[in-house]
Structure 1
Amino acid sequence: MVVNLIIAEGPRVVPLTCHGHSRPVTHLSFSHIVDDSYLLISACKDGNPMLRDGITGDWIGTFVGHKGAVWQARLTDDAALAATASADFTCKIWDTFTGENLATLTHNHIVRAVHFNPVTQNVVTGGSEKKLRIFDLHQPATPIELGPNVHDGTIKCVVWPEPNIVISAADDRNIRWFDTRSRNLIDNFAVDHPIGSCELSSAEKLLCATAGKSVYFFDATSRRLLKSVATQYDVSSVGLHSDTRKFVAGGTSDTWVRIYDFETEQELEVYKGHHGSIWSVAFSPDGKLYATGSEDGTIKLWKYGSQPYGLWQ
């Protein structure tokens, strides 16, 4: 663990830098709080997803077994299971306590996205096949496909905000909502530029998406667009702190972390810390820190707020 002193345009910020990956970090995801703590999982093009203590960033273990880049990684709410989507045409399910590979879900092309059902032990996957598949982890050999006509481009993001709704975002510049009971499309939102990311907020009621220089916020359940914010930069990732009504954005054209006011849409703070594009932003489940993953192969944890927390005393 390395602590770097970063001077920003405003207050001095001291992020924790987590090393270990050898290639760009493509995705970060936190678990829920379990016994006053939580975990962080990272996906990376080095093919070795890593598990860390979410508060300190300390390395816990590496899931070894993929033969290609890992594009996305998720944890169940209780942090007992992990799912990783890979360029080796598989999604793997892991026991986070033992590191054991519990299941390998085989696909016919690159798997870019995965998400757990919030209630059952099912996962949904998407990728270059342009299909959405739901796997029951008790019977993984017989997945269910949603659709038809799911997307016309590679599916880059999937989220499962409630048991019967799956949301996907793809290179065809569409965000789509599917009913898992009927397996049919129920809503669609088109954007003007390629989608960079599409994630649930820490409160898991709002959907945050990026495309071009714009950030979009939806009510994940009602599918209503709440706000779109135009920035001056190409935005690749965003995380919303719903309590303070601020959001953190990372971009592809520079290495800066930017904080915006949700209501006024004004840029409030700018922090320099990474040495490459920022591909993922995620708030911790308690909202007291956020994590950023970069092209430079590092993960940084940034304290959010002025009160002491974790290693920031």
Structure 2
Amino acid sequence: MTIKPLNLHVHLKPISWLKYSREGDLLFASSKDQSVSVWYTHNGQLLGTFKHSGAVNCIDVNAACTRLLCASADMKVTLWDVQTGAQLLSVDFATPTKVVQFSEGDKQFLAVTDSSFKQTPSIQIFKLPEEGTESRSGKLIPSRKIEQKDKITSAAWGPLNKTIICGFDDGTIRTFDAESGKQLGSTREHTHTVVRLSFSKDRMLFMSASTDKTAKLFESQTLELLKVYKHSDPVNTAAISPIKRHVILGGGTAAQDVTTTVKKQTYFDTHFFHQVFEEEIGTVRGHFGPIHFLAFSPDGKSYASGGEDGYVRLYQLDRQYLSMEDTPEVGLDEE
């Protein structure tokens, strides 16, 4: 099978996050170069950019694709109007913000702060003003604040906004009641940092990507470990196909972290695994540096990868892949 990408290049520093619009016609990409770009997915045309004063660590887009949330190293969460590019709201924090995400229904958002400047890591939940009133809302005060001793590396709303699921620097995954902030469960299936969490379409399953060279599949409500996918390098990102029993993994070690005794990689590839059988079914040639983010389109017919090299690679999956049976014997490659 031949899978050829569109190479989208406007960023000068590593890609930190990717987000498809709900319809899949737009792809948003954030970068450490203090900007967010927006692309048409059908032809890879650049639609526009949003400029920040610090590295952008995470982004999210509401269901109607009218509002863009950005968490950045300038200690802010910023809300933008997607159509006009106008900044609607800016929330100040005492530390850089690492993660931001709209709740289901887009009436709230969560923000994760780190331990910089001797601050306590936290998950903070805010109620969003009604559209059209954001600039008049004044200073936003969190409705809930969940503080933790350990560094929070990733966080996301659980099913129906009832819980918040978080990954931590010590390898643990914890779930909290979104209303009370009470910890409901915890598991430590990883031996190193949980870099990223990604969810299935119905949010009943999620994957954790870890620097311990594994990605793992969990049940969202119970944190029960279901599957383990082993990799040869640290895993920075993983994604679950919305239409097939496949998952994809990406990662790698940056050149400056590779010792002279270890062979340096030329390419950093996306690895396809069978979700149930845990077997690798193929690889797709990737970036000239570690892969930091992978995302499937909502219809599952394409996926995007963002890397250390500043490129976003957009892959349209062909008929052969989409019609192939979900068996571990079938492989795929990219020319």
TM-score by length of 1: 0.88
Deviation per CA, 1:255-309: give whole Å up to 9, x if none.
1111111122222112223111000000000100000000000000112242699
Alignment of 1:242-253 (within 5 A): 242-253=242-253
1:142 aligns with 2:132: no
- Moved runs in structure 1, 4+ residues, more than 4 A? none
Q: Which moved more, 1:194-203 or 1:38-47?
A: 194-203
Determine the structure 2 residue equivalent to 1:6: none
Query: CA RMSD for the aligned pairs?
Result: 1.9
Determine the structure 2 residue equivalent to 1:44: 31
- Superposed displacement of residue 218, structure 1: 1.6
Q: Which amino acid aligns with 2:171?
A: R
1:226 aligns with 2:210: no
Distance 1:158 1:55, change over 3 A: farther
Name which of 169, 172, 176 aligns with 1:171.
Answer: 169
Q: Give the conservation status (yes or no) of the 8 Å contact 1:151–1:172.
A: no
Determine the structure 1 residue equivalent to 2:2: 12
1:90 aligns with 2:89: no
Name which of 29, 38, 58 aligns with 2:19.
Answer: 29
Q: Give the conservation status (yes or no) of the 8 Å contact 1:200–1:208.
A: yes
Aligned length in residues: 293
Q: Give the conservation status (yes or no) of the 8 Å contact 1:131–1:145.
A: no
Secondary structure of the 1:141 match is coil
5+ long unaligned stretches in structure 2: 116-120, 130-136, 254-264, 323-335
Q: Give the conservation status (yes or no) of the 8 Å contact 1:202–1:283.
A: no
Determine the structure 1 residue equivalent to 2:239: 239
Q: Which moved more, 1:71-80 or 1:288-297?
A: 71-80
Determine the C-alpha separation between the residues in 2 that align with 1:22 and 1:45.
Answer: 8
Q: Give the conservation status (yes or no) of the 8 Å contact 2:12–2:33.
A: yes
Q: Give the conservation status (yes or no) of the 8 Å contact 1:76–1:116.
A: yes
Determine the C-alpha separation between the residues in 1 that align with 2:185 and 2:41.
Answer: 35
Determine the structure 2 residue equivalent to 1:300: 313
Q: Give the conservation status (yes or no) of the 8 Å contact 1:201–1:241.
A: yes
1:59 aligns with 2:59: no
Alignment of 1:203-218 (within 5 A): 203-211=202-210, 212-218=212-218
Q: Which moved more, 1:290-299 or 1:75-84?
A: 75-84
Q: Which amino acid aligns with 1:246?
A: H
Q: Which moved more, 1:22-31 or 1:49-58?
A: 49-58
Determine the structure 1 residue equivalent to 2:286: 273
Distance 1:192 1:75, change over 3 A: same
Determine the C-alpha separation between the residues in 1 that align with 2:144 and 2:33.
Answer: 29
1:261 aligns with 2:274: yes
Determine the C-alpha separation between the residues in 1 that align with 2:290 and 2:54.
Answer: 21
- Superposed displacement of residue 167, structure 1: 1.5
Determine the C-alpha separation between the residues in 2 that align with 1:134 and 1:206.
Answer: 23
Determine the structure 2 residue equivalent to 1:4: none
Determine the structure 2 residue equivalent to 1:8: none
Distance 1:258 1:269, change over 3 A: same
Q: Give the conservation status (yes or no) of the 8 Å contact 1:23–1:296.
A: yes
Determine the structure 2 residue equivalent to 1:5: none
> Sequence identity of aligned pairs in percent?
27
Determine the structure 1 residue equivalent to 2:134: none
- Superposed displacement of residue 46, structure 1: 0.3
Distance 1:79 1:289, change over 3 A: same
Secondary structure of the 2:104 match is coil
Structure holding more helix per residue: 2
Distance 1:220 1:305, change over 3 A: farther
Determine the C-alpha separation between the residues in 1 that align with 2:111 and 2:25.
Answer: 24
Determine the C-alpha separation between the residues in 2 that align with 1:23 and 1:293.
Answer: 11
Determine the structure 2 residue equivalent to 1:123: 109
Q: Give the conservation status (yes or no) of the 8 Å contact 1:146–1:184.
A: no
Secondary structure of the 2:48 match is strand
Higher Rg of the two aligned structures: 2
Name which of 154, 157, 177 aligns with 1:157.
Answer: 154
Determine the C-alpha separation between the residues in 2 that align with 1:32 and 1:54.
Answer: 12
Determine the structure 2 residue equivalent to 1:189: 187
